[in-house]
Structure 1
Amino acid sequence: MRTRKMTCWRGLAGLFARMHRLPGLVRPHAPHQRVPQQLQPHAASCYRTPCWTRPLVAALIISSASVGCAPMHTQPTVELVHTNSAWTLLRDGQPYQIRGAAGKDYLEELVASGGNSIRTWDAVGIDELLDEAHRLGLTVTVGIWLEHERHGYDYDEPQIRARQLAKVRRCVRKYRDHPAVLMWALGNEVELGGDLDKALRAIEEAAAIAKQLDPHHPTMAVLAEIGEDKARRLRQACPSIDVLGINSYGGAASVPERLREQGWTEPYVLTEFGPLGHWETGHTAWGAPFEPTSAEKFEMYTRSQRLGVEAEMPGRCLGSYAFLWGSKVETTPTWFGMFLDTGERTPTVDAMQILWTGKPPENRAPLVHRLSIDLDGLTAEPGEVFNARAEFEDPEADELHMQWVVRPEQSDRKSGGDAERTIPDLPGLILDASSGSAKVRAPLEPGAYRLYFSVHDGHGGAGTANIPFLVKPPSVE
């Protein structure tokens, strides 16, 4: 049996010794050493404290209490265990399957849905988030952001690399003792738009520091898909990485097979998955991608979790983080968010609850199956009136409210999930709407647009769909 110990047993006396280097307060093992099972005590019992130091330690404890210091948390033990060709993540000695969401919002809804973990992209200013997660019984895979070459970062500049690694040290030292921490995620898609070898070097440098400062939590590298050889090259270049994190959308269901082809036998986590990405779907003649409907997204989340995660449990997979537990603008305001900006949940939240608990919520969100418009080639003349129709259902047959809106196509398109501008509504273009149909007037200004449709059940659930169309320049006779 192979075991990677990540046991955290720092107590108050040990913290005092580390900070002040008092003689006689000696840790039984150096921070970088793995501790044998029989030598894994907790809190201050893991230190030899001679009689002369005990009044000093007691005074320190009393002094801390007298100035209103928060009580120290009991740090759960975390370890990776490999037996019979299967990897298991243990937390306090119990198997821990990650039922996670990528994001920091709607944490109570996550718990109610059966989730147990969240993932962040950076560790700057996450104090309150960690405390809230711990209060709710959630763990946190703490991301530490590593810069990208596509943003102008020069990995050949030693001073710039040194500043980044100093940030890694600060973050690990600050949060390593927090009981909500599950593991460290060093970077997110660092290789995207840059040199893979340089990205892997940066990941290894950061992971080595994290393991030196905190050998008690696993380290993970998060890559944008695995390509033809990313997993193989990561294993060779990053010995300080314990877990491979994979952001995969259209390819999530085939991750286990593709990892086998690259010879990856170590543990992995599906760190982002969801609908087909805007880079993966079909496009119009003018390059506008087709966003899946909420019903199609429900099926995509379900398929990715079952084939990309559960099929490898037990096995190499430790769990997953569904993307995005919140809302954001990326190509459209609804593409990746599992919630609308109103706070209403979409059917993708219901999909994850079913996967995590085996039971749907008491009231499920409406499903939009199809949205169509009667424009040839999805193109219109300026001011042309056309018809739209939506096909949808509500599992509980609730009374539904429908909303139609026209917006311009996103002009602030970014790559790699970078922040984009909010897309404004265009008023006065919905001439009539009843049930699942609407009469729409095309804008007078030529350009690319989208018609958005949403249906709301009055119980916090909503379904969505949209369709792109093009307003042609006026004909010249």
Structure 2
Amino acid sequence: MIVLFFVSCNQPKDTTSKKVQIKEINGSYKLYKDGKPYAIKGAAGDSHFQTLKEMGGNTIRVWDTTRLAVILDSAEAHQLTVIVGLPIFNSDYTTFYADPAKVEAQHQAFKAIVNKYKHHPSILMWCIGNELDFPFKPSYHNFYDAFNQLTDMIHQDDPDHPITTTVLNFNKKYIFNLIARCNLDLISFNVFGRITYLREDLKSISWFWNGPFMVTEWGIDGPWEGTPQTAWGAYIEDTSTKKAEQYQDRFLKYMPVENPGFLGAFAFFWGNKQEGTQSWFSMFDEHNGKSQVVDAMKYLWTGKHLETSFPQVNYMLLNEKGAGDNILLSAGQTFSARVLLLNQDKIKYVKWELYREDWYKKNNLHSDKKLQPLSQQIKTDHFLENNFVAPDVEGPYRVFATIYDDHGNFSTCNTPFYVVTDK
């Protein structure tokens, strides 16, 4: 007979002197920093620290060690803490993990990072990898050896800070393998649309694991999650007004804050990035302007909204058609773009831009390379309607409108269309 013993997380028994530690108290897990309870109010990103502090947040999560010294010092200046990512190769890089010299080089590189920064007051935790795969097959033995050597090294060299890793969505097999084969202090989940099932998912595995966890990425649906598409495969993006509603609604309804293992969550993305579009996940523009999602996060962290409201976007129309109408335009055709707002008195100006669609895909994911708008199609004025000329080159495009108020706050919307030619 085989008997399996499951533990919540393999934590050293003596935790009395740790700077950061996870304690189990009456069946619930609590995070402590410098001897005091620490409730994570987190964002995933590496910028806008002052705004994060002003909005009521206290922790950021970064994915690698790029500019780590600057990030840690800035976090300290704004009284924030940081979960630092150590970006190791995924388990499917079997040739890498079969090469002892390469594995040792990776190990030594991260050992140097840990020992260089372990005394920095802004360090909260270490996160080994991001959305790694944790398969069961014996052929992945080398990966597990390397992974466990890293956790053992960190536990020995820096016992003051817990270690986690992230699992994409909720993979029960991976969680089982993490508990059975690895030595972590807690598990973290990156969930977007799947957050609506997180409570049920956690309950379904409580028979073998009910330990401490974080939600290290959460937010609106990603383009990869069954988002509506046009006939040519362009994803239809919600307005920023709708996104703010979704962030607030999803946290209040579906975040398992009452779960005894819940330690905190990190909204994605606290910054500006290209993913699907330049506005899909971006909570800020390129000039530090705040989107309405930032206001939603302030409410979730403090119970209060910003004193100034945002332009409330209803939708955009191209030639009086919506994105779901599969808008086809002829090359050189003049067309109108119109934004409909719910409040008309908050506008300072509108920036209109036309982009060629982000049509490059690798493993079904969009490129993260920043796109450039068609320069002749940029317009900035206070009008909610503008005329454009469809490009001469056949293909997929998208019209963006960014509506600003007097305080630099903005709202966004966009509509895809396809240009056809006679050739």
Q: Where on the TM-score scale, by shorter chain, does this alignment land: which range? A: 0.7 to 0.9
SS in 2 for 1:87: strand
Deviation per CA, 1:309-358, whole angstroms, max 9, x where unpaired? 3x334522111111111101112111111101121111111110000000
Q: Distance in 2 between matches of 1:278 and 1:136?
A: 33
Return the match for 1:288 from 229, 234, 250.
Answer: 234
Deviation per CA, 1:25-46, whole angstroms, max 9, x where unpaired? xxxxxxxx65374xx4xxxxxx
- Shift, 1:394, TM fit: 5.0
Q: Show the counterpart of 1:92.
A: 34
Return the match for 1:298 from 232, 241, 244.
Answer: 244
Q: Distance in 1 between matches of 2:134 and 2:223?
A: 16
- Does 2:164 match 1:247? no
Return the match for 2:214 from 254, 259, 269.
Answer: 269
Q: 5 Å matches for 1:186-205?
A: 186-191=128-133, 202-205=146-149
Q: Show the counterpart of 1:217.
A: 161
SS in 2 for 1:109: helix
Are the counterparts in 2 of residues 248 and 272 from structure 1 also a CA contact under 8 Å?
yes
Return the match for 1:234 from 156, 164, 178.
Answer: 178
- Shift, 1:150, TM fit: 7.3
- Does 2:326 match 1:326? no
Return the match for 1:454 from 388, 399, 402.
Answer: 402
SS in 1 for 2:197: helix
Deviation per CA, 1:216-268, whole angstroms, max 9, x where unpaired? 21110112222353322322222x11111111111123222212223331111
Deviation per CA, 1:183-239, whole angstroms, max 9, x where unpaired? 11111123399x99576655433222211211221110112222353322322222x
By relative contact order (CA 8 Å, sep 6+), the higher-ranking structure is: 2
Return the match for 1:78 from 1, 17, 20.
Answer: 20
Larger Rg: 1
- Shift, 1:125, TM fit: 3.8
What is the aligned residue count? Answer: 408
Change beyond 3 A, Cα 1:126–1:153: farther
SS in 2 for 1:154: helix
Provide structure 2 residue ranges, at least 5 long, that are not aligned to the other structure: 1-6
- Shift, 1:417, TM fit: 7.6
Change beyond 3 A, Cα 1:121–1:318: same
Q: Show the counterpart of 2:106.
A: 164
- Runs (4 or more) in structure 1 with deviation over 4 Å come to 2-6, 149-153, 195-202, 414-419, 429-434
Amino acid at match of 1:358: G
Q: Alignment identity in percent? A: 30
Q: Distance in 2 between matches of 1:304 and 1:347?
A: 15
- Shift, 1:415, TM fit: 5.5
Q: Distance in 1 between matches of 2:375 and 2:117?
A: 48
SS in 2 for 1:98: coil
Are the counterparts in 2 of residues 192 and 224 from structure 1 also a CA contact under 8 Å?
no
- Shift, 1:472, TM fit: 1.6
- Shift, 1:422, TM fit: 2.0
Q: Normalising by structure 1, what TM-score?
A: 0.78
- Does 2:50 match 1:104? no
- Shift, 1:151, TM fit: 8.1
SS in 1 for 2:224: coil
Return the match for 1:182 from 119, 124, 128.
Answer: 124
- Cα RMSD of the aligned pairs, angstroms, is 3.1
Q: Distance in 2 between matches of 1:130 and 1:394?
A: 40
Q: Show the counterpart of 2:202.
A: 259
